[in-house]
């Protein structure tokens, strides 16, 4: 067990792009820092689909003022992993990986940070930058925990020459459906709405709709999966009430993820009961616990599509400005829309 008796100025939980940005800003301001990360550096991105490409241009997901050169305008997963690792190394960020924070407790002016391994760290300020990718939205249906069912899509080759049912109609679902179809997979998309979501990237829409028109990707809209068995899903049509069965060797439930509200509450942060948005100051990002900040997508509640690297990376500067008593950097307007 590790116990550090000397508090650091700033302890950051999570080494995603926004947590790394916070470490960089702390370091630039001469504050001692420590980043605790439950997985590897940029663990969420490491778990993204292997063949994915970011929708943002590379310059819009840069951190620490370090240019992000890529061979095309937008980075792929590999390039992003290389970039963020190199930036972390360049700034000598103090990162302890594979260290999951269990809770943060304030004791007088000091925070006591406890890990699931039983280690304890101390800090004067804490920034929670834990993102949203660890907590899939579970449907709560029988069979959801089966070995052929996943809430994450990784790569297409595993699924070639099988039947895959994708539940969901967002970007992730559409991207997975197109990629799988192009790798000889028999794909059916099941979604409770009447169409793909309006938030799907505009350049994907003609592609997916034309494949549906050609019958190459099947859709079952206005319907819910109510049970998953070993080789099929049971589908309930929400209008007609009709029950059908669709063959499914694999089921991908791509209905999104949410920030870890239990962790936030264990740290004393109050959440809006409806939106799950933590109580925080929109300028300084300080929560209802003085000295405890939220940074990046963790502050988005259920609206995770509103905070991403492009705008989340900016929180870091505002937070450190507040800690340093400087004029506070104003963050990108998108955040204000929440
Ligand atoms: C397929 C895909 C494509 C995307 N493309 C883009 C894009 O083009 N542009 C864009 O701006 N955004 C994009 N996003 C969204 C973006 O990746 C996220 O919004 C972004 O990663 C948020 O950064 P973050 O640092 O807040 O959180 P994360 O990157 O999720 O990092 C949080 C970190 O905290 C760690 N952590 C969690 N809990 C704990 C704990 N208890 N203790 C210690 N560590 C913990 C996690 O392991 C993780 O490493 C995309 C998302 C997906 C899924």
Q: What angle do CA 69, 70, 74 make, to 5 degrees?
A: 120
Residue nearest to atom 49 of ligand 1 (CA): 43
Please write the tens of the pLDDT for every residue from 96-145: 999 999 999 999 999 999 999 999 999 999 999 999 999 999 999 999 99
pLDDT at 208: 97
Could you say which DSSP state residue 167 is in?
Answer: E
Question: Would the CB of 308 count as within 6 Å of ligand 1?
Answer: yes
Considering only CA atoms, which of 66, 50, 159, 6 is closest in space to residue 150? 159
Rounded Cα gap, residues 297 and 315, in angstroms: 10
Ordered strands of the 223-228 beta sheet? 223-228, 232-237, 243-247
Q: 17 CA distance to ligand 1 centroid (A)?
A: 7
Tokens matching residue 44: 């969420």
Binned at pLDDT 50, 70 and 90, residue 337 comes out as: very low
Question: Would the CB of 48 count as within 6 Å of ligand 1?
Answer: yes
Question: Would the CB of 13 count as within 6 Å of ligand 1?
Answer: yes
Rounded Cα gap, residues 228 and 190, in angstroms: 13
β-pair partners for 217: 187
Does position 178 have pLDDT exceeding 90, yes or no?
yes
Q: 332 CA distance to ligand 1 centroid (A)?
A: 18
pLDDT at 330: 87
Rounded Cα gap, residues 250 and 231, in angstroms: 8
Q: 13 CA distance to ligand 1 centroid (A)?
A: 12
Rounded Cα gap, residues 149 and 1, in angstroms: 36
Tally the C-alpha atoms within 13 A of residue 289's C-alpha that lie toward its C-beta: 25
Could you say which DSSP state residue 118 is in?
Answer: S
Please write the tens of the pLDDT for every residue from 244-278: 999 999 999 999 999 999 999 999 999 999 999 99
Rounded Cα gap, residues 328 and 293, in angstroms: 14
Does position 335 have pLDDT exceeding 70, yes or no?
no
Q: Quick one: 337 exposed, middle or buried, by C-beta within 10 A (0-12, 13-18, 19+)?
A: exposed
Q: Quick one: 106 exposed, middle or buried, by C-beta within 10 A (0-12, 13-18, 19+)?
A: middle
Question: Would the CB of 168 count as within 6 Å of ligand 1?
Answer: no
Question: Would the CB of 264 count as within 6 Å of ligand 1?
Answer: no
Question: Would the CB of 56 count as within 6 Å of ligand 1?
Answer: yes
Does position 216 have pLDDT exceeding 70, yes or no?
yes
pLDDT at 331: 86
Kindly report the pTM of this predicted structure: 0.95
Residue nearest to atom 3 of ligand 1 (CA): 54
Considering only CA atoms, which of 116, 229, 256 is closest in space to residue 163? 229
Contacts for 128 with CB less than 8 Å, ≥ 6 apart: 13, 14, 104, 263, 264, 267, 269, 287, 292, 293, 294, 295, 298
């Amino acid at each position: 067990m590790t116990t550090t008796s000397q508090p650091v100025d700033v302890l950051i939980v999570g080494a995603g792009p926004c947590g790394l940005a916070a470490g960089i800003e702390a370091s630039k301001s001469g504050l001692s820092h420590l980043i605790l990360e439950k997985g590897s550096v940029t663990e969420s991105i490491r778990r993204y689909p292997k063949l994915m490409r970011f929708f943002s241009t590379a310059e819009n997901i840069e951190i620490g003022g370090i240019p992000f050169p890529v061979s095309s305008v937008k980075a792929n997963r590999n390039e992003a992993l290389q970039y963020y690792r190199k930036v972390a190394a360049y700034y000598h960020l103090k990162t302890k990986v594979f260290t999951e924070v269990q809770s943060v407790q304030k004791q007088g002016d000091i925070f006591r940070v406890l890990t699931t391994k039983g280690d304890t760290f101390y800090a004067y300020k804490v920034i929670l930058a834990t993102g949203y990718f660890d907590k899939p939205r579970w449907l709560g249906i029988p069979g959801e925990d089966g070995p052929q069912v996943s809430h994450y899509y990784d790569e297409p080759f595993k699924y070639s020459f099988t039947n895959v049912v994708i539940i969901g109609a967002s970007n992730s679902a559409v991207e997975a459906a197109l990629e799988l179809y192009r790798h000889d997979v028999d794909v059916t998309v099941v979604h409770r709405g009447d169409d793909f979501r309006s938030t799907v990237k505009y350049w994907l829409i003609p592609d997916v709709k034309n494949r549906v028109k050609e019958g190459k990707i099947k859709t079952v809209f206005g319907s819910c999966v109510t049970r998953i068995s070993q080789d099929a899903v049971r589908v309930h049509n929400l209008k007609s009430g009709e029950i059908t069965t669709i063959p499914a060797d694999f089921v991908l439930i791509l209905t999104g993820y949410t920030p870890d509200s239990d962790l936030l509450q264990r740290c004393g942060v109050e959440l809006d009961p409806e939106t799950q948005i933590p109580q925080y100051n929109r300028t300084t990002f300080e929560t209802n616990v003085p000295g405890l900040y939220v940074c990046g997508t963790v502050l988005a509640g259920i609206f995770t599509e509103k905070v991403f690297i492009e705008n989340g990376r900016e929180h870091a500067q505002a937070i450190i400005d507040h800690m340093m008593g400087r004029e506070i950097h104003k963050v990108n307007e998108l955040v204000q829309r929440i």
